Chains A and B, each alone.
Chain A
């Protein structure tokens, strides 16, 4: 510390400087956090207000009396429960197929031996470069031809498998030592039980990460469901929640206390998952960047 004697520390001792720096850091960090959380707080507080409080010329930060009635509106206006069910079903289907197919493929690409392994893996990675926003037209035509318009399968297909999760799982499987697999094989384990009883438990954190990413992308997807679902009772939440803010004649309405109640209900499942798996989710995102 003594070597750091530059002009500034002539006025402040290193210790005082440290304390001052820490205080500034705290103030700024709290400020940033408050700003970032504010929109979510505003959603919550608006959802609990009366119409007068929402439309008043003064800012009302928290309602005088909490208005639980607002939460009736989304269920009255649209088949909100049905939307939740649709979203849950599609998300569950996508998670299942993405995990199952992803784990199998990841095993093949990490521990398996077959002709064309590298070529096929390049095919998998290349798929990351092609977003649904480019491919939706031909896919729409195929789905219409198969008769999957307005069905769960139609929504499912666009997120049924993800090259990104195959990649993440493969990276994890590669770290498992071959001797475990050899030992299991000697004990007479089949390929499937090796995958699901040895590889998956040994790479549990990555599997959880992939499951959570699949949940998020399923629950929050908007573009493809909007393309493929035209029947209003088959909407998913992301698309259905938009109907809350328009009248039947498609005019924008301003009953934001009720609209926010609907928005709040639609994000609650995500909050619950976030609260339970917070650590896994954060590490999952960074894992991807580190490769």
Chain B
């Protein structure tokens, strides 16, 4: 290929340099892309393959192809349906509550800490701090605080006049509440910081103009702040949605899926099938279903909200 390309400008023929492509640039990107493909895309294809085989964890011979057997098991077998529906329900309840807690309190705290002085910056940093600590360590701290006999929360409730100690982690409903407390405490600082930086980006003019027109604080929040924060809310919604759907660590540490599977979330179920039932094939099918749910909800949220999100002009 010639290095130059002939173009006609003002009736004269000029020779300009062709856009050059470098193999060296390609090879700079290649290692990262190859590794990413290996740890994300390849496993998805492999999951599809596994889902059509009869694959046990302990197996030594090559697995046989069994067609749609695992898929029919997933959607029709009594053992599957019960746990699948349960895990779907538990995950959904957790996700909805967690999004509400994180985004709600995040927005609230962002307004509360929206005060640009040094002490407030220090307090913001402290509110954000739990985010850095491993969920596995936080889980143990909460296990201790929620301990039925000696936990600080039950003791404080006792001071407030409650006679009976609550069995936080053993009660069907309280177990989920405990996990939500842990993950809410862990994640709210992040939402606060993101909301706060978005709040600081809103021009003061809007508030001044509207207060001249006699708008109250609540009206300003409803008609100025909320719409202008909607891109941020969308961002937080999607990131919190994904991280809530794949919740595992907090559940594993706090309740281990119990009591009576009341906190057995999707990922817990997938892990359980693979490493406790030794059914790699069934685990693969469930993982694929989980992936499809994640993908569909994320993409459709982006599609739907893209139309309704207000971007600052």
Chain B's closest residue to A28 (CB) is: B112
Nearest CB in chain A to that of B239: its residue: A289
Q: B175 in the interface, Cβ–Cβ < 8 Å?
A: no
Question: Among the listed A112, A238, A274, which residue makes an inter-chain contact with B137, where contact means beta carbons less than 8 Å apart?
Answer: A238
Q: For the complex, what is the distance from the CA of A189 to the CA of B76, rounded to whole Å?
A: 64
Chain B interface: which of A64-72, A119-127, A201-209?
Answer: A119-127
Contact B198 A238 (CB under 8 A): no
Instruction: Please indicate the chain B residues that have their CB under 8 angstroms from the CB of A54 in the complex.
Output: 150
Q: How far is the CA of A244 from the CA of B89 in the complex (A)?
A: 32
Q: Determine if B134 and A108 form an interchain contact, defined as CB atoms under 8 angstroms apart.
A: no
Chain A residue nearest in CB terms to B155: A59
Q: Is A25 an interface residue (CB 8 A)?
A: yes
| Least distance between B267 CB and chain A CB atoms (Å) | 5
Q: Which residues of the other chain, B, contact A260 by a CB distance below 8 angstroms? A: 140-141, 144
Known: A124-B32, A289-B235. A133 touches B248 (CB 8 A): yes
Q: Residue-by-residue, is B120-138 near A (CB-CB < 8 Å gives 1, otherwise 0)?
A: 1001111111101111111
Binary contact track A63-81/B, C-beta < 8 Å → 1, others 0: 0000000000000000000
Q: Is A20 an interface residue (CB 8 A)?
A: no
Instruction: Indicate which residue in A36, A222, A270 contacts B136 across the interface (CB closer than 8 Å).
Output: A222
* A113-B19 contact given A104-B28, A137-B274, A139-B43, CB 8 Å threshold: yes
Chain B 159-207 interface residues, beta-carbon cutoff 8 Å to A: 159, 185, 188-190, 193-194, 196-198
Which B residues are CB-close (under 8 A) to A216?
A: 132
Measured CA separation A120–B28 after assembly (Å)? 12
Q: Tell whether, in the assembled complex, residue A131 and residue B246 are in contact, meaning their CB atoms are under 8 Å apart.
A: yes
Asked if B120 and A29 sit within 8 Å, CB to CB, the answer is yes
- Considering only residues 50-69 of chain A, those with a C-beta below 8 Å from chain B are 54-55, 59
Complex CA distance for A126 and B197, rounded to whole angstroms: 27
> In the complex, are the beta carbons of A137 and B193 less than 8 A apart?
no
Is A105 touching B28 in the complex (CB atoms < 8 A)?
Answer: yes
Determine whether the beta carbon of B267 is less than 8 Å from that of A104: no
Which single member of B37, B125, B236, B280 contacts A123 (CB below 8 Å)? B37
| Segment 181-234 of A: residues with Cβ below 8 Å from B | 191, 195, 216, 219-220, 222-223, 226-227
Name the prevailing secondary structure of the A interface residues.
Answer: helix
Q: Within 8 Å of chain A (Cβ to Cβ): is B9?
A: no
A12 adjacent to chain B (CB < 8 Å): no
Identify which of residues 129-178 in chain A touch chain B, using a CB-to-CB cut-off of 8 Å.
Answer: 129-141, 157-158, 160-161, 163, 166
The stretch of B66-74, B96-104, B288-296, B303-311 that contacts the partner chain = B288-296
Contacts between chains A and B (CB distance < 8 A), count: 259
B112 and A25 form a contact (CB under 8 A)? yes
Contact of A4 among B123, B197, B211 (CB under 8 A): B211
Q: Is B232 an interface residue (CB 8 A)?
A: yes
A241 lies within 8 A of B125 (CB): no
Closest-CB distance, B220 to chain A (whole angstroms): 12
Interface core residue of B25, B212, B294 (most chain A CB under 10 Å): B25
Contact status A137-B284, CB under 8 Å: yes
B43 touches A237 (CB 8 A): no
> In whole Å, how far is B212's beta carbon from the nearest beta carbon of chain A?
6
A135 contact from B44, B134, B193, B212, Cβ within 8 A: B44
Smallest Cβ-Cβ distance to A162: which chain B residue = B36
Chain A CB within 8 A of B29 CB: yes
A33/B35 contact (C-beta < 8 A), A131-B246, A289-B194 known: no
A124 to chain B, nearest CB (A): 6
Q: With an 8 A cutoff between CB atoms, is B62 at the interface? A: no
**B178 CB to nearest A CB, Å:** 13
Residue of B nearest to A56 (CB): B150
A38 vs B232: C-alpha distance when bound (angstroms): 29
How far apart sit A290 and B275, CA to CA, in the bound complex (Å)? 40
Known: A134-B47, A227-B271. 16 other contacts (CB 8 A): A3-B212, A36-B127, A39-B138, A40-B129, A102-B32, A105-B32, A108-B28, A123-B41, A134-B43, A134-B287, A134-B288, A134-B294, A157-B39, A158-B39, A163-B36, A286-B197
Question: Can you report 21 A-B residue pairs in the complex whose CB atoms are below 8 A from each other?
Answer: A29-B115, A36-B188, A46-B144, A129-B294, A130-B291, A132-B39, A134-B294, A136-B274, A137-B270, A137-B284, A137-B287, A138-B43, A139-B39, A141-B280, A161-B32, A220-B132, A220-B134, A263-B140, A270-B132, A286-B196, A289-B236
Q: What are the nearest 5 A-B pairs in CB distance? A: A112-B25, A135-B43, A138-B46, A105-B32, A108-B29
